[in-house]
Structure 1
Amino acid sequence: MRRFRDFLVFILFTVCTGALAQSETGLYPLSEEKDFFAQLPQSIPHVDRIKANYAQGNTAEARRELAAYFREKAKNRFYFNWENIPVRLKEYQQLYPNAAKNHLKDADSHTELYHAETDWKLPFTNKQGKEVTAYEIRHLFRQHKAGDFAFSYFLLDKKELLPYFTSQAKSLNQAYQNGAVELIADGNGAYESFRGGNRMENWVLTHHLFLASPEYSDEDQITLLRTFLHHAEVLYQTNQKFQFGNHQTKGMVALAVIAMMYPEFEATKTYYDFALANLGQHLDLEVNADGFQFERSFHYHVGDIDNYFRVFKLAQITGNPIPKAWEGKLRGMFEAMVTLALPNKMAPVIQDDTDQPMATMNQLDEVMALGYALFSDPEFGFFASSNPSEEYYWLLSQVDLGRLRAKTETKPTGKSTALEATGYYVFREGWKESDQYLLISTGVSKEKPDHQHGDVLGLQLFANGEMLVPNYQVRYPEPEFPFFKNSWAKNVALVDSIPQGQEWTGNQGGSGFGKFGKLPKAEVLLWEPKGKIQAFRGTHDGYQDLGVGYERSVYFFPGEFWLVRDRFSGDQNHVYYQNFQGNYSLESGPILARSSQADGSGMDLIQLGSQLAGADVAGINGKNRVTFRSEPTPSLDFVTLLRPYDSFQDRTSAVDAAAKILLGDWEVHRQSLELKGSKFLADQILRKGDLLLLLGMRGIQSENLSLQSSKPVDIQVVLGEKGMELKSFEPNPIPLESSTGTLTLSTQPTQINHEN
């Protein structure tokens, strides 16, 4: 491949077609300013005059003319026109009255730790005399607070922050030239794709904001231009090999954005084509057919929406080509969010969500504002905020903002559904804020499962406007991170106190992040999302090494409750556990556990199975759980009712070993029930009028009917005047023996008449 070097920022290059993760520093040195001017491309107007001025010592005039040219072009090559910043800042302050205070707080949090001319390689101490950790230097590399410098400069007249910003950029350039930056091979690389891409994202924003200031000198603008192009070349060269995950994606976004900002330079055409091809490969391989990002995390799904949005939107602004498939893929990512959304327009916590540690829900309105800005879909408008977040405000034009403020809304109509490719299954009553919702997580991504938790076949439950059986957000450097990533902080069943996540390893740089080398693999056996009783059944191999098979079934009675059965089968004694997160009290020994909310609503967990040894309440960081445990036994079924109630008087009555339990309009019977001339034999029988669920059914008998099963099976029965309708909740067709032969049941209803 021809390498375009004769115009750019480099005096030396080394042929390297692979990822230069081991020793990228020094391979692509940033040229001196005089070399940069000498190699300016002919596509810049009056470039010969600019070159001549610089060569003859009239450097100030050369800088002035080149900076003026790119300032003018910048008006139409970014998400906002810097000339409109005074007007937009006025609106910004009105929309976000705390913005100035928050920006200054964030800017101060950075400047109080680091000198403008800081070090960029460990070990070193910060301004407070403390050793900088791996986690901290990674965030220094990302330069997350750079935008805060510009906002504080304009909103609070913090003039010192402009030279601070430019000095910090210069200090990184100098450190790079001197080989004094962290290498990717060491685990904390300053120019690693994710960190370098984030830095460019933040510096490009800061640069465009400061263009509105007369104090942003021509020389500093040229320095940032050279810095952007230098980063682009490093990102291009060190990402020749495709790598799964959002780290490379972020670098390719930065590469595409820089290419669109500076098309005069010949190499930027190569950069843009390369970035779009690489991002397209990420879209194809990392956004599942159901629209969700392959790492299965809300945090990383939103991160990729942010990534693709930035490129898609800027390409629209600059008139650069975008593959046609992008639009459908990007729309699908927002549609997937609708599938997972909670009834209160929030989103569940799934896998490594990191924004608010210990939080049990995620904000959805900000990212859905981007979806509405792109597609004007009223269903996206139902979730979208009328004003974007403070960050996204600067990615949207005045036209986009006006469209959001006049948005139309349509409440979704979908109920129980699934993202089957990603492995999320949702039982949903409806879209009123008090409606019931349960999410089951079944999968572990095949590629890069680094962000997966020990929650295979775990669940979360929302009802009465609250997350009653929650999952928790995490943060990497916190000492509790490994605990909250694993099964004791999940709603799963365990064997012998062994959590699902095994073979924990921290990352190379020691920033606190870690992952499991071994997690169970799940298989979905049954998914029935329609009907008066809905069902899910799945299995995983997490305890096969112990000789224990495991299966979880979940039954949803819309508007009422759920039944969860965890079935363990082994040939030696084990102690089995069933975990539910929440603040519970034990009301009837191990039979009934209850949590109560501030408004008097709550959740009852009712054990219908046998062989329970007890229940324990425990927790950490104020996040508690109840754990039901068995006596040592080879096999066991936990059969648990998860019943939300909306007021004190609706809570479950005292539960004991009686033959019948009342749950509102439902009854729970054990072993047998005689009804309308028929006798039903099953481990548990749930009945509401003429509707029955036979859990572990062994037989049905009446004067004209005798049905027997060779093994316990789960079936639904609807009684009618002429007979009964039977429907199986087994993964495969089941034979029932009768006096007239074999009757085969499936998930399709079968009518049995009295005369049969």
Structure 2
Amino acid sequence: MRGQSVICGLMLGASVMAPAADEVSEKLQWLLPRLNIPEVESVEDPTEQAVRLLNYYKNRTSVTPPVSTEWSTDMLSDKDLNYANDALKHIFVGQPAYDSYFCGDDINWASRPVPDNEWVWQLNRMYFWNAMGRVYAATRDEKYADEWTRQLVHWVNNNPRDEEHAYAWRSIEAGKRGQSWSSLYFQFIQSPHFDEETLVCFLSSLHDHADFLMKKYRAGSNWALMEAEGLAFIAILFPEFKRAEQWRAEAIRRFNQEIEGQVYPDGHQRELAMGYHVGSINWFFRTWRLAKRNGLEDEFSTSYMNRIERMCEVPMKLCLPDGTNAQFGDAWAGTPGQYAGRFKEWSQMFGRADFLYMATAGKEGRAPDKTAFALPDSGLYSMRSGWDSDALGLVLKCGPDGGSHCQRDNGTFTLAAGGRTLMPDSGSYMYNSDKEGRAWFRQTKVHQTLTLNGQNIDYAPKLLKWEPGEGQDILVVENKSYPNLTHRRAVIFVDKRYFVIVDEAIGPATGNVEIHFQLAPGGAVFDTAGLSVNSDFKDGWNVLVKAHPQKGLVLAEEEGQVSFVYARKEKRPAFCYRLKKEDDRSVRLVTLVVPYENEEPEVSVRRLDVSAAGNGELMLELNEGGKTKNVGLRL
């Protein structure tokens, strides 16, 4: 075995392997005082210590692994196989949106094939190692274990925890490695290639990771959860470390604190981006599950799992009818039905028939008993016509400041119908901040909301009315967007078929009031005189956006972009309705948003009263194909 020969070589004075042997021997002597393993402590010979240490870990049964190590080839995805086979050749995935990259025969863990730090940071999360572990568990092909152990030792020896290697030692990457390495151990430990050298490097680095994570705590963010998860996995799965109990207590203390501080009572994680929300469910739950498997679940608070259950309800309540995300903040749309597997797990975990319905696209379980949901703490609201994937659905955001993954977009919404997202949120493109990159996507004016003179808004949300009903749903929110101007937005879902949006700019500020709208990529038909725009898909569903005319109101085309995948963007139709606000009187704009299939509908709206904007009352007449209907608001 490679490791045994190295250590034995040192003891016997073999010169060829002496440099590596010195390094392993130093690690072993540093490591042993930090472990509590009597059968190793009872001998003094370093070679025998290493042999006994390896024998102990290959045979121990006192710890239950986080997941089953039994895999079959039919459980492997093409991505697993591609990542694993590329990794054999040192072709690694960093940020998955970019191509994999050859990092050298002598691996350069600081490789930067693209000018995006996310690539090198995520390289050091080793997604490809997870794939190698799964492929090895399914095939028992030793080439994967051989290469993994070599890469592990290489990384540990070439990435000390210092300033020069800061690219590898952000606390988020350390936390992810603590979790994933602890799991990979169970997939590779029985391989003959998992030798003394591998074990000593592995355990030494795990201790280094835990020591580092004890000193790092990014409270209030998803980083805190990954830090705590890595610390907890090391502590629970390697209780032989003398500090393991202290590490575990601190990790679980953080989880108990974070689930109360980071998760609103309505269930949404405070950063208000769906990807981070679902990730947070995983980070909160995986450690609890691991603790339960090892008889430690009582160390979590009594309300812990109740809060996770509410978190699991959020994707059900807020995802679009086809299961994709509204791209609020740093979120990406994803794919239809993307959470089916998670809903299946959650249905079993909590005995929820509605989760089972979501997991099976309605084939099993029971549909949720509502079609409209309010998450008032988070400021997120949804309305839909039904629970089939082709239903109409609108999700609106008017919430608090969620931090760096949130955007100044209160009032914005995403609309879908017929399995097509007709008015998607802009997204975030990529995690840099230059003018053409992330910064452009974070501007208020590229979201479906109101601006004054095109300036970014503040976070100051308030829910004024939430009245879902059989015939229509009514939502009224407002946001004090500027020091002297509040944006009030009312959305009426008429007959569960189309929407009336009433926007009011309330306050003494003057300037250009603009209501911005964006469509999905594709063609659009602009009728400037008629104040209308409609998408122009040749089949399936389209949407008509049409404003009620008033003096001074103009329709103006704007720059439109959208990003559905990290680091990729595309153009799309965008426009605004602009009205000059010349004095301290409030102004009101009324817009129809009408999804339709086949023929464009004949629909219009007019006011039936002369009430002043901002007074909380409004009566409108809707005319659809010659048939009229009155709808009103009263706050």
TM-score between the two structures when normalised by the length of structure 1: 0.69
The equivalent of 1:615 in structure 2 is: 556
Q: Secondary structure at the match of 1:568?
A: strand
In structure 1, C-alpha distance between the alignment counterparts of 2:320 and 2:114, rounded to whole Å:
43
> In the alignment, which of 638, 646, 652 is matched to residue 601 of structure 2?
652
Give structure 1 stretches of 5+ with no counterpart.
Answer: 1-29, 387-406, 501-518, 654-662, 674-680, 695-714, 716-728, 732-756
Instruction: Give the structure 1 partner of residue 622 of structure 2.
Output: 686
- Asked whether 1:253 is paired with 2:232, we answer no
Question: Residue 455 of structure 1: CA displacement?
Answer: 1.3
The CA deviation at 1:115 is 4.4
- State the partner residue of 1:284: 260
Mapped partners of 1:608, 1:626: distance in 2: 18
Mapped contact 1:125–1:132 kept (Cα < 8 A): no
2:126 aligned residue: 143
Q: Among 93, 99, 117, which residue is 1:134 paired with?
A: 117
Determine the structure 1 residue equivalent to 2:391: 435
2:566 equivalent in structure 1: none
Aligned partner (choices 442, 445, 452) of residue 495 of structure 1: 452
- Give distance in 1, aligned partners of 2:503 and 2:390: 27
Q: How many residues align?
A: 576
Aligned counterpart, 2:373: 417
Which amino acid in the other structure matches residue 450 of structure 1?
A: S
Q: Are positions 1:564 and 2:564 aligned together?
A: no
Distance 1:156 1:319, change over 3 A: closer
Tell me the equivalent position of 2:12.
Answer: none
Cα-to-partner distance string for 1:271-328 (whole Å, 9 max, x where unaligned): 1111111111000100110111111110111111110121121112111134222211
Aligned pairs (5 A) from 1:304-343: 304-322=280-298, 323=300, 324-343=302-321
- 8 A contact 1:423–1:443 mirrored in 2: yes
Residue 346 of structure 1 deviates from its aligned partner by 3.5
| Equivalent residues of 2:35, 2:242 under 8 A apart | no
Could you give the per-residue CA deviations for residues 689-742 of structure 1, whole angstroms, max 9, x where no partner exists?
Answer: 999535xxxxxxxxxxxxxxxxxxxx3xxxxxxxxxxxxx332xxxxxxxxxxx
- Partners in 2 of 1:178 and 1:560 — Cα distance? 58
Q: Which runs of 5+ in 2 are unaligned?
A: 1-24, 94-99, 562-568, 611-616
Query: For 2:162 and 2:409, how far apart are their aligned partners in 1?
Result: 43
* Aligned mates of 1:125, 1:436 — CA distance in 2: 46
* Map of 1:90 onto structure 2: 73
Matched, 1:196 2:145: no
Correspondence for 1:753? none
Question: Within the alignment, does 1:34 sit opposite 2:34 as a pair?
Answer: no
Q: In the alignment, residue 101 of structure 1 is paired with which amino acid?
A: N
Bigger CA radius of gyration: 1
* Number of the residue aligned with 1:730: 634
Please state whether the residue corresponding to 2:572 is helix, strand or coil: strand
1:628/1:37 Cα in 2 relative to 1: closer, same or farther (>3 Å)? closer
CA contact (8 A) 1:360 1:471 kept: no
Residue 685 (structure 1) shift:
1.8
Distance 1:605 1:577 in 2: 15
Deviation at 1:469, TM superposition (A): 1.4
Shift of 1:258: 1.1
Select which of 327, 338, 342 maps to 1:367.
342
Asked if 2 retains the 8 angstrom alpha-carbon contact of 1:564 and 1:640, the reply is yes
Structure 1 residues 178 and 687 mapped into 2: Cα distance closer, same or farther (>3 Å)?
A: closer
Deviation at 1:436, TM superposition (A): 2.0
Q: Partner of 2:588 in structure 1?
A: 637
Cα offsets for 1:574-594 (capped at 9, x unmatched): 222222211431146352211
**What letter is aligned with 1:498?**
Q
SS in 1 for 2:415: strand
Query: What does 1:27-426 correspond to in 2, within 5 Å?
Result: 32-37=27-32, 40-41=35-36, 44=37, 46-49=39-42, 52=43, 55-57=44-46, 59=47, 61-73=48-60, 76-82=63-69, 84=70, 88-93=71-76, 96=77, 99-105=80-86, 108-110=91-93, 112-115=101-104, 118=107, 134-151=117-134, 162-175=145-158, 177=160, 179=162, 181-183=164-166, 190-239=168-217, 243-322=219-298, 323=300, 324-354=302-332, 363-384=338-359, 408-426=364-382
Q: How far 1:119 moved relative to its partner?
A: 5.7
CA contact (8 A) 2:622 2:630 kept: yes
Q: CA offset at residue 161 of structure 1?
A: 5.2
- 2:16 corresponding residue in structure 1: none
Structure 2 counterpart of 1:469, from 423, 435, 445: 423
CA change 1:600–1:531 in 2 (3 A) is closer
Identity %: 19
User: Are the aligned partners of 1:77 and 1:260 in contact in 2 as well (CA < 8 Å)?
Assistant: no
RMSD across aligned positions (CA):
3.4
CA distance in structure 2 between the partners assigned to 1:330 and 1:471 by the alignment? 27
Q: Is the 8 A contact 2:472 2:494 kept in 1?
A: yes
Distance 1:685 1:588, change over 3 A: same
| CA spacing shift, 1:484–1:333, aligned 2, 3 Å | same
Q: 1:556 to 1:601 in 2, by over 3 A?
A: same
Distance 2:38 2:359 in 1: 44
Kindly tell me: are residues 117 and 274 of structure 1, through their superposed partners in 2, closer, same or farther at Cα, counting changes over 3 Å? farther
**8 A Cα contact 1:360 1:467, kept in partner:** no
Call closer, same or farther: CA 1:109–1:473 in 2, change over 3 Å: farther
The letter of the residue matching 1:365 is A
Alpha-carbon displacement from aligned partner over 1:65-96 (angstroms, at most 9, x marks no partner): 322322333685213354x3xxx133414xx3
Contact 2:411 / 2:449 at 8 angstroms: preserved in 1? yes
8 Å CA contact 2:543, 2:596 repeated in 1:
yes
2:621 partner letter: I
Q: 1:100–1:156: 8 Å Cα contact kept in structure 2?
A: no
Offset of residue 212 of structure 1: 4.1
Per the TM alignment, residue 260 of structure 1 is displaced from its structure 2 partner at its CA by 1.2
- 1:570 Cα offset (Å): 5.5
Aligned to 1:709: none
SS at match of 2:448: coil
Amino acid at match of 2:365: E
**Kept in 1: contact 2:384–2:496 (CA 8 A):** no
Match of 2:560, SS state, is strand
Secondary structure of residue in 2 paired with 1:348: coil
Q: Any idea what the Cα deviations from partners look like across 1:218-274, whole Å, max 9, x if unmatched?
A: 3312321222122112211334xx622111210111111111112233321111111
2:474 to 535, 540, 543: 535
Structure-1 residue corresponding to 2:614: none
Task: Map 1:523-602 to 2 at 5 A.
Answer: 523-544=462-483, 547-569=484-506, 574-582=511-519, 583=522, 584-587=524-527, 589-602=529-542
Does the 8 Å contact 2:445/2:455 carry over to 1? no
Deviates more, 1:338-347 or 1:296-305: 338-347
- The residue identity in structure 2 corresponding to 1:421 is D
Shift of 1:643: 0.8
Code of the aligned partner of 1:141: N
Tell me what 2:613 maps to.
Answer: none
Conserved 8 A contact 1:290-1:422: yes
1 CA distance for matches of 2:238 and 2:518? 52
SS of 1:566 mapped into structure 2: strand
Q: Deviations over 1:579-631 (max 9, x none)?
A: 22114311463522111335242111111131222331542343423323335
CA distance in 1: counterparts of 2:336 and 2:74, whole angstroms: 30
Cα distance in 1 between the residues matched to 2:127 and 2:460: 37
- Alignment CA distance shift 1:216-1:197 (3 Å): same
Take 2:199 and 2:61, find their aligned partners in 1: how far apart are those partners? 12
- Structure 1 residue 160, shift from structure 2 partner: 5.8
TM-score by length of 2: 0.81
